Amino acid sequence: MNRILAAAALVLLCAAAASAQAPASPSAPKKPATATPSLPTVEQVLAHYTRGLGGEQALKKLNSRVMKGTFEIKEQNISGTAELDMQAPDHFYSLVSIPDGGDHILTFDGKEGWTSEPRSGLRAVTGKELAELRRSSQFLYESRLRSLFAQVRVVEKTMEEERPVWVLQATPADGPPELFYFDAESGLLLRHDSTQTTPEGDVPIEHRYSNYISVDGVQVPTLLRHSDPALEWQVKFSDIRHNVAIDPAKFAKPRAQ
């Protein structure tokens, strides 16, 4: 259960990033980016993503997001509430609360990361796990693949749940590559595959984003589905707000009891 809920927190994190903000204008490369006859460039895919979200001007107005909803593991009849708070440029807080299961928290304050849950208490996030959390906590996440990953390339056009998608492979300086599936028509992010580092070991996971709605002129996914070798679960958001003041205490690391 500890690993499941830690992963849930990261799915919440990726949900915020999936509709965060437009990328800054890229600096001129030494050589012009070119596309193969069948594949667009990375810049073309990300520009289409920005347009799909609502456009650069609408995205630039965002500086925070608060999302609340429900968490559910259908196969185990487990349910609870979920909350995500994200403040630009890189502050993140998530809470999964389950009746009789307690509160499970994951936070990044711009420098340090930590988790808290009833069984193991407070734990600092370190090493590869911290690097993943720092990267994913950026308010510009998917729009900033070029600066957050050592290498990014378009690898194929395929189908994802009956939708044509462009697949971007993003490889960090230290770690396995991640795959991002962008709808070839709408531009929106539909899926993200990665390897999550946990205290129990590395876990391959798939995140799927759907049921996008417009909030302040920006498209936001309200249904998030997680799949790993052990379980499938989902988070549904019903309350999404932008540019709200978030109490700084949420991002502060508590003292160990």
Q: Could you tell me the pLDDT band of residue 100, with boundaries at 50, 70 and 90?
A: confident
Q: Is 80 a residue whose pLDDT tops 90? A: yes
Give the pLDDT score at 39. Answer: 95
- Condensed to tens digits (0 to 9), the pLDDT of residues 18-73 reads 554 444 434 434 444 555 458 999 999 999 999 999 999 999 999 999 999 999 99
Give the pLDDT score at 67. Answer: 97
Q: Is 83 a residue whose pLDDT tops 90? A: yes
Q: Is 120 a residue whose pLDDT tops 90? A: no
What kind of architecture, by CATH, is found in domain 2-26+38-251? Clam (2.50)
Q: Could you tell me the pLDDT band of residue 5, with boundaries at 50, 70 and 90?
A: very low
Give the pLDDT score at 6. Answer: 46
Query: Beta strand pairing status for 121-125 and 151-160?
Result: unpaired
Q: What residue type is assigned to position 256 of the chain?
A: A
- Show Cβ contacts of residue 227 under 8 Å, excluding neighbours closer than 6 positions: 205, 206, 208
d(CA 135, CA 33): 25
Give the pLDDT score at 37. Answer: 53
- Show Cβ contacts of residue 139 under 8 Å, excluding neighbours closer than 6 positions: 16, 17, 20, 21, 62, 63, 86, 87, 88, 89, 90
Q: Could you tell me the pLDDT band of residue 153, with boundaries at 50, 70 and 90?
A: very high
Whether the Cβ atoms of residue 208 and residue 193 lie closer than 8 Å to each other: no
- Condensed to tens digits (0 to 9), the pLDDT of residues 133-142 reads 998 898 866 6
Q: Could you tell me the pLDDT band of residue 119, with boundaries at 50, 70 and 90?
A: confident
Q: Could you tell me the pLDDT band of residue 112, with boundaries at 50, 70 and 90?
A: very high
Q: Could you tell me the pLDDT band of residue 160, with boundaries at 50, 70 and 90?
A: very high
Q: Could you tell me the pLDDT band of residue 118, with boundaries at 50, 70 and 90?
A: confident
Residue 190: CB atoms within 10 A of its CB come to: 21
- Show Cβ contacts of residue 118 under 8 Å, excluding neighbours closer than 6 positions: 101, 102, 103, 104
Judged by average pLDDT, the poorest of 27-36, 187-196, 245-254 is 27-36
d(CA 226, CA 17): 16
Residue 15 gets which letter from DSSP? Answer: H
Whether the Cβ atoms of residue 169 and residue 177 lie closer than 8 Å to each other: yes
Whether the Cβ atoms of residue 92 and residue 108 lie closer than 8 Å to each other: yes
Query: Beta strand pairing status for 232-242 and 121-125?
Result: unpaired
Q: What residue type is assigned to position 160 of the chain?
A: E
Taking the mean position of all CA atoms in its chain, how far away is CA 179?
12
Q: Could you tell me the pLDDT band of residue 256, with boundaries at 50, 70 and 90?
A: low
Q: What is the mean pLDDT of the chain?
A: 85
